[in-house]
Structure 1
Amino acid sequence: MKNKYRILKIVITVIILGFLLSFSLKKFSGQKITDDKISVKMNEKTPVYFIDEKDIREIVKKENPSGKVGDLNIPALEKKINNLPAVDSANVYLNLNGKLNLDIKQRVPVFRLNKNGKDFYVDEKGIEFPISKTYSHPCMLVTGNVKKDEYQKLAELVDKIDKDDFSKKYFIGISKDKNGDYNLLTSEGNYKVEIGDLDNIDFKVKGFKTFVEKYLVFQEPQKYNMISVKYQNQIVTTLNPHFKENDSILKVGHKELAKTSAPIAIKKQETAVSPKKAETKKNSTSVSKPKETKNQNTTTKPKETKKTEEKPKKKAKVKIE
């Protein structure tokens, strides 16, 4: 009898608890999720504003028009928010008091890429996402035909530039030319720094820093058109032809090239004149003979020698000019 009484007692207790639980669940599912019961948290370290709390609340209302807890599909709502281009991750859950919590982490752009006439952002994971119409995030601008497998290395380069005070002061953009070489655009002057590929970035930036500290600080920034550090253990500079001080340097260079080409033409003229000199020598010997005879030939032959002497002089003057 005692055992039967205990079993009956346990069954009655379970039925009562089940009734109370079903009643509480009905009461809980019937609760409405008001605005004060929705908590939205943005967990990114760098503040970005591609989406705000108002946008998330509107999504919650669209996914749950009745506003009741029982009608809310949490997995579907979480998937909807994760599918937003600017969202990196989202976690949605309910408390026992009926409060809806949404922990959202937005994507933080590392650089803005202009590729084939289109602009979009790229985060630290190398994921593309579109530009917002209402918010523009300040970040490095990159132009050119950058491949997706280069996004990761390019993001690392931009991160190094942002963390280094010297690089952050000088470099304001990155471009990729038709040859596939990367160039760092500078804030001072109109020159660019050619780095080639994205390997050995620390070494290349260090080389440019050394060039700036030991040489460029004593020069005008507008003097150069390009400074190349892509070659190992050397820096190659290209002068800006529109800079006034470079005009005299370039003119001297052109004159030196002209001087080196002039002696070649003179040597050719000397070789052309030398056989005629031999003919004049022969004529001089022939002139000595008529002096003994004293004929009229003595007067005609010197005239011929004079004509032959005058003609090569005129030709030589024309060629030299």
Structure 2
Amino acid sequence: MKFKWSYIQLPFLLVLVAFLYGFSEQRNNARKINGVHVEFMMGENLYVTEEAVNKLLIQNEVASAEIGKEILDLNRVEKLLNQHDMIENAEVFLSLNGKLQTKISQRKPIGRSVGETSFYLDRNGEVMPLSTHYSARVPLLEGMSSENVREAFPLVTYIHNDEFLTRNITGIRRLPGAKFELELREMDFKIYLGKAENLDLKFNNFKAFYKKAMNDEKLETYKKVNLQFGDQVVCTKK
């Protein structure tokens, strides 16, 4: 019986490939983490810095050069970063050269509460602490607490998404009955909004009034503009 090398050639090659793959995988897993790279989405690192992220990872023994790739729990790292007060979302992965890559989206404040307690209201309607690194230029929220600030969230969001209102409105005051009064950047009259409802109608009426009064050079003659009736603008002169 002749020995046929072709019969065992393919199985031998398969075993060899499997051995080399396993050996390579074992060596790769045994490698240590080769540093940390922090990337801020949209290029913004206003409220949390790269140094703060690295410090957080080091304190929790994540960024240590002694940690092997095989024991690094990427889900734990993401959870750790997402628990930071200034981080909205974090994605973590390892690069081919063993560097820990982190992509971070920061929380975005759209209003700042002032008074007995100071905090931001972020774009998701959640309370956000103030930052020691940066102060956001957003409308000031008066008469609000962490318990009732969500009542103002639809109003603050509407203003944040409107260029004209963002440019002109600097303050939002909560009045009894969950009603609101607005302050303008350049004009000294107040806007009485009432409840935060029918905002499209109320603000469209206000824009029409503002444009006409500005053309007539009468903006300085008013001390109060009432929008609570929705279908009309009621003005009180000085």
- TM norm structure 1: 0.62
The CA deviation at 1:75 is: 1.3
Aligned residue runs from structure 1 range 136-215, under 5 A: 136-145=135-144, 147=148, 149-161=150-162, 163-164=163-164, 167-215=165-213
> Distance between the aligned counterparts of 1:213 and 1:152, measured in 2?
27
Residues 181 and 22 of structure 1: CA distance in aligned 2, closer, same or farther (over 3 Å):
same
Equivalent residue runs for 1:1-321 within 5 Å: 8-35=8-35, 38-44=36-42, 47-61=44-58, 62-65=61-64, 66-114=66-114, 117-145=116-144, 147=148, 149-161=150-162, 163-164=163-164, 167-215=165-213, 218-219=217-218, 221=220, 223-240=221-238
SS in 2 for 1:230: coil
In structure 2, distance between residues paired with 1:185 and 1:149: 19
Mapped contact 1:34–1:67 kept (Cα < 8 A)? no
Give identity over the alignment, percent: 25
Q: Which residue of 2 aligns with 1:267?
A: none
- Kindly indicate which of the two structures has a greater share of residues assigned to helix: 1
How far did residue 8 of structure 1 move? 4.5
Q: Is the 8 A contact 1:110 1:121 kept in 2?
A: yes
Q: Which has the higher contact order (CA 8 A, sep 6+)?
A: 2
Post-superposition shift, 1:189?
Answer: 4.2
Following superposition, the deviation at residue 109 of structure 1 comes to 1.1
The one-letter amino acid paired with 1:183 is: E
The verdict on how the C-alpha distance between 1:58 and 1:22 changes in structure 2, with shifts beyond 3 A counting, is farther
Which whole-Å CA distance do the structure 2 matches of 1:59 and 1:136 have between them? 22
| 1-structure distance, mates of 2:57, 2:14 | 37
| Number of aligned residue pairs | 232
Look at both structures and tell me which one has the larger radius of gyration over its CA atoms. 1
- After superposition, the CA RMSD in angstroms is 3.0
CA contact (8 A) 2:201 2:231 kept: no
SS at 1:27 equivalent = helix
Does structure 2 conserve the Cα–Cα contact (< 8 Å) formed by 1:64 and 1:72?
no
Please tell me whether the aligned partners of residues 138 and 170 of structure 2 are also in contact (alpha carbons under 8 angstroms): no
SS for the counterpart of 1:88 is strand
CA shift at 1:110, angstroms? Answer: 1.5
Pair 2,168 (structure 1): closer, same or farther in 2 beyond 3 Å: farther
Question: Unaligned 5+ residue runs, structure 2?
Answer: none
Q: Deviations over 1:179-210 (max 9, x none)?
A: 32111101234321001112222322233333
Question: How far did residue 82 of structure 1 move?
Answer: 1.3
SS at match of 1:101: strand
Letter of the 2:52 partner, please give it.
D
Distance 1:151 1:226, change over 3 A: closer
